Structure 1
Amino acid sequence: MLQNPPRASIIEDLEDLYENAPCGYLSLDPSGRIFKVNKTLCNWVGYAPEHLVGKRLGDLLNIAGRMFYETHIAPLLRMQGFFNEVALDLVAQNGERLPVIANAAERRAADGSVISTRITLLKAADRRRYEQGLLNARDQSRSSEAVARAILKDERETSQLREQFIAVLGHDLRNPLASISAGARILLRRTEDEAEVRVLDMMQTTVTRMSGLIDNVLDLARGRLGGGISLGRDADLPLQPVLAQVVDELRTTMPDRVIERDFRIIDPVDCDRSRIGQMVSNLLGNALTHGAADKPVRIGASTANGMFELWVANSGEPIPDAVMAHLFQPFFRGEVRASLQGLGLGLYIAFQIAEAHDGTLTVASTAEETRFTFRMPLR
């Protein structure tokens, strides 16, 4: 007569099935951070489970996958609660790319709030073989110097065309994005239903994030195409209200965080107020993301001795020297400082804005404080 196995044995079997499954499993908390991951995925990427806990899925992706996830997959997941059969490339600890197919589903509470997100990852071996075939074909074609020169020329032209496409696409995205924002505001004024208000607030937050991503991508394209960051300087208009508005917007977006400000701008500042506001938004967003959650983020601005100085500081772990050397490069995000969201362009754009104003943007990081400081001549 067959007997039911003991409960402890069933639990042990289920745990083994999860940990050693032929696919990777990970779970994200409501903020998008990994809180559980199985051994299979850890073995694939070469990290211990404790190294992955607290990170975001984007931290395991290459640049292209990170951009695709932030601009397409994450918004889709928030809107419908799942996505299926999405091709992504993980980056293992040794730097190798691991092609996978991802499926995800959110677990939500009765009020619609996200409890967790479950993601399954399957190895895409056929894709890896296809990519290897392309690499072999490229190596064979480069056996001739004439062919190699032709390929190099074509790659340069393709790169320029790609950046022009990014610039055009960014401009074309503004109008529909503005229409979505305007429509959401109109609907928000006409409804008092809490569920509808939450959805409309989520839409507005997504529009704001997407607008920032478009701005950063456009600025990156301009810089790479040789035009640089454009400025519209005006010393007659006050700068302090712009800085205060940026602080208030971020306080609204992250009500649980404390932002302390100290503005002492007594002289006119010959600058592009919109660009300075963009710089402040990027620096404050970076500080809120990487700073200690239980400590305030501080911002100050002042004029003295013919110079304008602006600084943003946060408490928390210091930036490692290896990360510091690449901090202002595009698409770079330090391993221990995963961005809350975005493509790793914020600090790069802030640095470009500083240079466009004939100023400097520097960073100093200790165990007590990390501080970014922007200085420029008043005229």
Structure 2
Amino acid sequence: MPREMPDPPNAEEVLRASEARLHEAQAVGRMGDWELDRDSGAMSWSPQLFRLFERPSAQGTPDLNEALGYYSLESVELTRAAFWEAIDTGARQELEQTVHLPSGAERFHATTIVPVKNHRGRVYKLYGTTQDITERKLAEQELRRKTFEIEDLYQNAPCGYYSLDADGMIIRINDTLLRWLGHERDEIVGRRRAFELFCPASRALFGQVFRTFKKTGLLRNMDIELLRRDGSSLPVLLSSTAIFDAQGSFVASRTVLSDNSDRKQLELERAAHATRLAELSRHMVDVQENERRKFAAELHDHTSPNLAALQLTLTNLARALPAPVLAELEPLLDDAKGLLLDTITGIRDVCTNLRPATLDYAGLIPAVQDYAQQFRQRTGIAVHLDTTHFTMHLPSNVQSLLFRITQEALTNCAKHARAKNVRIHLENSDGLLCMEIADDGIGFDPHHLGESGTTPGLGLITMKERAEFAGGTFELNSSPETGTAIRVSFDLQAGEFRRQPRPARSQAAEHSMSTGRA
């Protein structure tokens, strides 16, 4: 039995379905349509338009004047002008409006006005659409705000920015850098290459760096000087990254420049302060050495005659005593003589530690020899002095410095090294004065200095500070079971030293040094 075909929908059903789809589309697009009769002023609204304006359908469709009451004052004038323009010219109009809804919300609409003409060409009706574009407008406002913030940040950041093309031409520059340089934008962009912004001394360097930068694409903290319009210089730190195309070819640079004036000024002040501190330190050392010299001289001058007289008195007393009394008192006299000799030796050691007279009268090498001899007698540690390649005369302050470092090094060796031998090597060559003191003791790990259970290393700190205050360098090398060596170096070209022949020494002194004994 053949199947029965359903009856085709009638025209009314088709129309209702079409209207339903239109209403659904308008609801989704937040859009409504309207019509306006030119002569009567009557309007018709679609249901979606009522919802856009928060107008109850029971209030009916408003006329044009009432509809305009929803708009801001500026939008009212704009809308009236658009309606009359459409009527007068017959041209389609599009505009955006600000709407104040009954709920107090502010919304944004986009309205399209389409004029309809009769057979005589007269516009007798207007129709169109109105769409809620609030989300789009808010997004545009946010985009403009962020764009303004980004542009403001670029133009007025506390650092300079510019971009270069592959030829080094400036294609973009911010206001901050223009203010620093004192130029106008139209004087720079597309007219100047970057190297023209730099001081003559920096231009060649920039040219070399830029060629490398176009290959590597990265430049960090280049210290360079800009040239202001008034001819003054501005020190900056320059950092840059590159933009490459898909083929890896250089397109442009992104460069930031930081004002380096404060840091440069601080560096100058710090250098001046360091120089002043070094001068004060050297002066302090000189004052200390003078005080040591004065105290040692006073100690010697006040005690030596009395001690010598006391020694002579004891000798004369022993001779004057009768033999039986001398035999009885001789042990006491021997003890007194021993104490006296020990006192004389002790005062001599104190004077040597304070300021050896040999250092002032004979110079560094004999003073080190004398001190090393006393050190060996006191500790049993042999000291070998090598001055084969030492050929210059040193200022007194430098001699004092080297002697004090030697003194401190030997004291450290006696306290901690458990060494049997110490070697002192002094030479000048290739513009450098070097003194090295090395022992064959137990050594230590320098990284453990200052840790709990280890010696604090104050002697090493003292030696390092003495050397650096005088403009030299101090090096320490040590490891367990291999001994310890310190090396002090000075630049002979620094102005502190004078190249002069070494003073002649006595034959005994030359023999002592050549045999490696002190």
TM-score normalised to the size of structure 1?
0.38
TM-score normalised to the size of structure 2?
0.29
Structure with larger Rg: 2
